[in-house]
């Protein structure tokens, strides 16, 4: 059994001690206000006591927190009063992430998170271990996962009459990496915590270590790409964070906005000012807010993706990134559910795009299983990578019928109508009179409908379904048929009148950027049914094929 880094005892104790102090403070204050015989003087005793108890709890917690790498599972047991021991089978691990914050980097520490597909939370968080230990864990888990997979594949292959010749891409890969496939005694069960290396000949063990260590670089984000990525991506979440900041520091912010707006005709202060003054202040504030949000978002993206590097180790992808806070993680290739190419209008303008891989786990910051594999690169390269990684052919995209565009025209007209109605409502309640000016939004309706329409495309391939949607953040998702979970055809009242239908293809990826599963919108009903039936048939076919052949379905060396 291993413990966390001794320094985490210090932080744990401090954190709990502060929590204890706070609880004591609140309880005494609360009681003093309502119960007569409790007085504020109790503080002098209660507060140090809370601090001490909390600190002790933290230290005990440190000593009661243990983790271990066994042959088949990763075990964590924790808890002071109620104990919890958790065993995570290697085969179920989706990704292993290592996070190093700025202070932790100075102290040589790291936080390790282990994710599985179950539950919304990270299954095991080691907060924190030394950096070498983090790397060792990541490597060991990766190695054991690969072995567990291999053993299982072997045992299932033995059941079959015709064991396929080892000429598939992945099998060749393993052979050339020197991993022994013949190890009849290496079953997953039994042999508790014994290090399995003992049973191997020294040379294979060495080869295996070599194999685990050998990382092949696949993609590095160059300075130019990093800058382009920073300046062309927009993070609405930053806006929300800034709004929160404005909320807690409202007065200085307003004063600052007043000083900024004054030279261009803003009011002296909030009390004196004409309608025109206020209009200018509002406009200036808006532009200012957008500019600040954009700049913060640029800085954030830059710091997060600084030094991005993707490589492969065996059948796993390993990535590294971050300027202040370093992230590194590994994703087993066999856990990949789908691959998505994203681009926004700006990126399309300069012919760049990004590639994301999606698993059923949860990423370190995005709370979804999407991991950026290639943050930004030339479009042609990204498409080439995607095709090579998934083995999909170049899609010949199909579009929904023209009728769909009419639907969007109608839909956006309704939205525009609602905006005008709101403007009218506002004009009734205030002195604003030119509510009809809001009708200008109707001008945006035809282009909006058109842009939505042209960005909806799909392709039914040999082994993959490709779904493209969205204008602001266009996503082109490549779904291997064997990853499909359920297929639905949806028809709203409006769609039924036009004879249209949407096809929803659900996979196990925990989030596909937006809140919806990949959807092909507004096909003709017959086409939708075709896509639906084809997907189901292909799912069965590809599953059968995969059962016979241990082909991964992905090419790990995609660059």
Partner 1 sequence: MESLNSRIRLLWIAQGAIVAAILGAVLVGVDRIVVDVPMGVIAAVIAVAAILGIAYAVRLYQVWQFELQDDALYLERGVVTFVETAVPFVRVQHVDTQFGPIERALGLSSVVVYTAGSRNADVRVPGLTPDRARSLQDTLRELAVESDTDDAV
Interface positions with partner 1 (CB under 8 A): 92, 117, 152-153, 156, 335, 360, 482, 484-493, 496, 506-512, 515-517, 532, 536, 539-540, 543, 546-547
Name the minimum Å distance from CB 216 to partner 1: 26
Instruction: Write out the DSSP string of 535-553.
Output: HHHHHHHHHHHHHHS---S
Q: Which residues pair with 217 in a beta bridge?
A: 311
Alpha carbons 231 and 183: distance in angstroms, whole number: 52
158-187 residues labelled b (16+ CB within 10 A) or e (exposed): eeeeeeeeeeeebbebbeebebbeebeebe
Pick from 50, 43, 44, 18: nearest CA to 28: 43
Spatial contact of 470 and 457, defined as CB atoms under 8 Å apart: no
Residue 404 tokens read as: 């769909």
User: 474-480 and 216-220 as β-strands: parallel, antiparallel, unpaired?
Assistant: unpaired
Nearer to partner 1, 4 or 465 (CB): 465
Least distance from C-beta 152 to partner 1, angstroms?
Answer: 7
**Smaller CB separation from partner 1, 388 or 546:** 546
CB of residue 146 vs partner 1: minimum separation in angstroms?
16
Q: Minimal distance in Å, beta carbon 116 to partner 1?
A: 9
Supply the DSSP string of 58-87, one letter for each residue. Answer: HHHHHHH-EEEE-SSEEEEEE-SSS-EEEE
Q: In this complex, which beta carbon is closest to partner 1, that of residue 71 or of residue 550? A: 550
The smaller minimum CB distance to partner 1, of residues 321 and 407, is found at 407
Residue 410: enclosing H or E segment and its boundaries? Answer: helix 403-429
Q: How far is the CB of 494 from partner 1 (least distance, A)?
A: 10
Sheet with strand 316-321: strands edge to edge: 124-130, 109-116, 93-100, 326-332, 316-321, 309-313, 216-220
Query: Please, what is the minimum distance in Å from the beta carbon of residue 455 to partner 1?
Result: 22
User: Closer CB to partner 1, residue 169 or residue 549?
Assistant: 549
Could you tell me which of 73, 92, 334 has the C-alpha nearest to residue 189? 73
Of 5 and 92, the one with the shorter C-beta distance to partner 1 is 92
Structure tokens at 161: 């009459």
Which residue, 342 or 538, is less far from partner 1 as judged by CB?
A: 538
CB of 337 to partner 1, least distance (A): 8
Phi and psi at residue 61, to the nearest 5°: -60, -45
For residue 432, give both structure tokens: 């604003």
CB nearer to partner 1: pick between 223 and 515: 515
CB of 253 to partner 1, least distance (A): 35
Count of Cβ atoms closer than 10 Å to residue 97 Cβ: 26
> What is the closest distance, in whole angstroms, from the C-beta atom of residue 504 to partner 1 in the complex?
8
Q: Considering beta carbons, is residue 283 or 487 the nearer one to partner 1?
A: 487
**Residue 366, C-beta contacts closer than 8 angstroms, at least 6 positions apart:** 511
């Amino acid at each position: 059994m291993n413990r966390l880094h001794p320094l985490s005892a210090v932080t744990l104790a401090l954190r709990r001690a502060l929590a204890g102090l706070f609880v004591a403070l609140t309880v005494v204050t609360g009681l003093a206000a309502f119960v007569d015989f409790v007085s504020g003087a109790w503080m002098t005793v209660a507060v140090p006591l809370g601090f001490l108890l909390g600190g002790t709890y933290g230290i005990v917690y440190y000593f009661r927190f243990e983790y271990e790498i066994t042959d088949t599972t990763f075990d964590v047991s924790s808890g002071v009063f109620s104990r919890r021991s958790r065993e995570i089978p290697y085969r179920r691990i989706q990704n292993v992430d290592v996070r190093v914050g700025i202070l932790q980097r100075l102290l040589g520490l790291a936080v390790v998170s282990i994710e599985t597909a179950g539950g919304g939370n990270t299954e095991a968080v080691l907060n924190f271990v030394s950096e070498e230990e983090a790397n060792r864990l990541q490597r060991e888990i990766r190695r054991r996962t690969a072995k567990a997979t291999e053993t299982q594949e072997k045992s299932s292959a033995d059941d079959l009459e015709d064991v396929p010749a080892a000429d598939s891409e992945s099998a060749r890969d393993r052979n050339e990496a020197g991993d022994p496939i013949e190890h009849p005694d290496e079953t997953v069960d039994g042999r508790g915590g014994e290090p399995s290396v003992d049973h191997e000949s020294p040379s294979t063990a060495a080869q295996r270590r070599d194999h685990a260590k050998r990382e092949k670089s696949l993609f590095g984000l160059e300075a130019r790409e990093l800058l382009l990525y920073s300046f062309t991506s927009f993070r609405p979440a930053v806006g929300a964070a800034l709004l929160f900041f404005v909320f807690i520091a409202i007065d200085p912010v307003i004063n600052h906005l007043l000083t900024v707006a004054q030279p261009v005709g803003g009011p002296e202060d909030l009390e004196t000012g004409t309608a025109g003054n206020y209009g200018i202040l509002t406009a200036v504030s808006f532009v200012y807010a957008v500019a600040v949000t954009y700049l913060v978002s640029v800085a954030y993206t830059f710091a997060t993706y600084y030094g991005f590097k993707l490589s492969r180790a065996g059948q796993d992808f390993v990535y590294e990134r971050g300027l202040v806070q370093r992230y590194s993680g590994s994703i087993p290739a066999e856990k990949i559910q789908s691959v998505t190419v994203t681009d926004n209008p700006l990126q399309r303008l300069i012919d760049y795009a990004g590639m994301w891989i999606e698993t059923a786990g949860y990423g370190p910051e995005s709370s979804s299983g999407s991991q950026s594999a290639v943050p930004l690169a030339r479009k042609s390269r990204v498409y080439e990578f995607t095709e090579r990684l998934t083995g999909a052919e170049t899609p010949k995209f199909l579009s929904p019928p023209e009728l769909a565009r009419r639907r969007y025209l109608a839909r956006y007209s309704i939205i525009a109508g609602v905006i005008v109605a709101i403007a009218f409502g506002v004009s009734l309640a205030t002195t604003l009179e030119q509510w009809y000016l809001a009708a200008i939004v109707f001008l945006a309706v035809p282009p909006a409908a058109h842009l939505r329409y042209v960005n909806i495309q799909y392709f039914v391939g040999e082994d993959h379904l490709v779904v493209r949607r969205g204008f602001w953040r266009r996503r082109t998702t490549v779904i291997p048929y064997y990853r499909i979970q359920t297929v639905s055809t949806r028809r709203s009242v409006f769609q039924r009148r036009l004879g249209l239908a949407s096809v929803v293809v659900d996979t196990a990826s925990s989030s596909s950027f937006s809140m919806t599963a990949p959807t092909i919108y507004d096909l003709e009903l017959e086409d939708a049914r075709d896509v639906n039936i084809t997907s189901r048939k292909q799912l069965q076919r590809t599953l059968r094929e995969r059962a016979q052949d241990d082909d991964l379905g992905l090419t790990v060396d995609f660059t």
